[in-house]
Structure 1
Amino acid sequence: MATFTQADLVGYIRQAAGEDDAFDLDGDIAEITFSDLGYDSVAMVEITLLVERGLGISLPEDDRASKNATPKEFIGLVNELLPASI
């Protein structure tokens, strides 16, 4: 995988934490915090663990992987780490 996309992230979110009917994860969620999307710290741990296992990377403890981050920030963090892992 050369680039981690929002579609990739949404797949991990659905697998780890499910989906809230209030938001369409396939819509424009890039700038909405995970907290506002309905995901708490526990959900973010589950999402992070799945991404790490799935991509063979280790995400640092970073605000961009917290419930107060946006999907855009999370995707940026993952993409920063991908080239080093490929």
Structure 2
Amino acid sequence: MSSKTFTLDDLKRILREGAGADEGVDLDGDILDTHFETLGYESLALLETGSRIEREYSITLDDDVLSDADTPRALIEAVNAHLSAVAAA
């Protein structure tokens, strides 16, 4: 049973690796409740981010997770819910 947790630092790393960072966006600032579109990440970048999360954490995210999670906080919470469900199984 894994106790691995998905953190904001994990998300920022994956966003930068997969889609880079827009020059005008400071991912090191307070971004938890900032919409991904405001951060410069459109749906294609989020699909890549979701794929990277799935591979790295050995989980499968529902199709709705990435479309419903419009902020880093929402995505982190969704990923951690999946990790908890896998750990409990």
With structure 1 as the length reference, what TM-score do the two structures score? 0.89
Q: Which runs of 5+ in 2 are unaligned?
A: none
Instruction: Name the aligned partner's letter for residue 40 of structure 1.
Output: E
**Matches for 1:1-86 after TM superposition, within 5 Å:** 2-62=4-64, 64-66=65-67, 69-86=70-87
Gaps of 5+ in 1: none
Q: 1:13 to 1:28 in 2, by over 3 A?
A: same
Distance in 1 between residues matched to 2:21 and 2:68, nearest whole Å: 15
| Counterpart contact for 2:69–2:78, Cα < 8 Å | no
What TM-score do you get using the length of structure 2 for normalisation?
Answer: 0.86
- The number of equivalent residue pairs is 85
